Structures are given as C-alpha cells and as structure tokens.
Amino acid sequence: MKYLIVGLGNPGAEYKNTRHNIGYTVLDAFAEGAGIAFFDKRYAYRAETSIKGRTLILIKPTTYMNLSGNAVRYYMNQEKIPVENVFVIVDDLALPFGTIRIKPKGSSGGHNGLQNIQDTIGTSEYARLRFGIGNEFSRGGQIDFVLGEWTKEESEKLKERIDIVIEAIKSFPLIGIEKTMNAYNNK
C-alpha cells in the first residue's frame, strides 16, 4: 500500500527557515531521521521509505506553494495513490504557534496551496495536518510574517513540535486518519 505525504513550501534558500515552509521543514526532519534523501524529480523533491510494509512517498512540491496541486496530482497518478492515502502538511495562521490540527478533509481555509490542490485534484477529501504559525503581525504585515523566519523563542520549541508531527505522519498509514486525529490533535 502506498501513501503520499506532501510537505508544502517554496523551493529556494530564501524560504528555507520561514514559517510558510513548515511542510518542507517537517519532511526534511522526517527524512533525516529515516536516513533517506530527497531527489529533485518532476514537480517535486521526492523521497521514499516504508513503515511496516507500507510505502511512503514524500514530496516537497517545487511548483511553489500556489501551484502545489500539480505535484500532488502527478504523484497520485504516477504512483497510483488514492486520495484517501494523501496527507498534506501545511502552515496555518489561524492556529497558535505549534498547535497541530489534523482533519480528514475540509476547506482550504484561505490557504492558496490547499486551494490549488483542491482545484487541481477536484476534491477537498484529502487528509491534512495544519501546523499553527500564529498571527503575531500588525495590520498589512501578513505576507512578511508568513515569509519571515521563526523567532528565537519559536525556534527553540520547533524541534519538539516537529517530532510530534513526524509521529503523526507515521501513524497515518498504520492506524488511519481518525485514530491519528484522536491521538495527535491537542497534543
């Protein structure tokens, strides 16, 4: 059985440690812990691993955030992965820093990456994990905040929060989305 794990972000060094790239950051940490590497493939950086007989295809779309759906559709088709086996990791302004919210489906919530995935694959019935980045910005400062780097205080807490997200990613193919939600929401 195959699963597509999608970490949303933007390619390029200028985005590396930004809040918007939490999906990339999580998958980089996952790959490091699993001893696997990403390779620059069509539409995405791609890595592969397995957990108890389940294959996990990890992708970090290189199409930029607002066109993430192209990479998701391509790998779903290429690897013959059904939508119920797709899990997307994304940043969320509406959640306090480090908060994790897993859902089996839902709206884009105004997130351009999620909206493009929904538009491109034709459904919002895919699992997603929203990682809270907070909303500590003044009026008109949203873009700079989202594309800004983590504060020192956030950076100190980030590894612990990322480790929990990695546990949730591993849980998804083993026990399913409902039990993963129950185990990791509010953790």
Lookup: tokens for 47: 């890595």
* Residues 56/63, Cβ–Cβ less than 8 Å: no
Query: Strand pairing of 54-61 and 100-103?
Result: unpaired
* Residues 127/102, Cβ–Cβ less than 8 Å: yes
Measured CA to CA, the distance from residue 141 to residue 135 in angstroms comes to: 10
| Catalytic positions, written as ranges | 20
CA Rg, the chain, in Å?
15
Instruction: Compute the Cα dihedral for 50, 179, 132, 68 and give only its sign.
Output: positive
45's enclosing H/E stretch is: strand 44-51
Query: Strand pairing of 2-7 and 54-61?
Result: parallel
